[in-house]
Amino acid sequence: MKKITVYEKPTCTTCRKVSKYLEENGFDFEKINYYIEPFSKSLLKKLLKKMNMKPNDLLRKTESLYKELNVSDMSENEILETMLRYNDLIQRPIIEYGDKAVLARPPEILEKFFMSN
């Protein structure tokens, strides 16, 4: 069976809902708090590729930091670097499963994700 990795912030309500869903459905998974174990650039790029997303797609645009840093005016590489520097700008949770990954917002997306994998 493929390994499931959940990249999360444990205090996030959506992250807790995802963990509950996985536990209730008998999935074996590993949780990584990316505030304690930050993303490397290569891992974040790999996850973006698996999700078929660009850095801009993974931004938390409602964060005040997004506006303060003028992230909307940055290139993709600058956005990526900024996300690595400021974890709060990264949408969560990210679920990695084999050669696929998904941004589990809303958590209900997981049922479809696991059925198609």
pLDDT tens profile 33-60: 999 999 999 999 999 999 999 999 999 9
Active-site annotation holds for 15: no
Portion of the chain with pLDDT greater than 90, in percent: 90
93 closest CA partner among 35, 27, 25, 24 = 35
> Which residue of the set 2, 12, 49, 57 is catalytic?
12
- Domain residue limits at 65: 4-115
Residues 6+ apart with CB under 8 A from 30: 3, 4, 5, 6
Domain with residue 60: its CATH number is: 3.40.30.10
Q: How many structural domains does the chain have? A: 1
Enter the pTM of the model: 0.93
3-class DSSP assignment, residue 88: helix
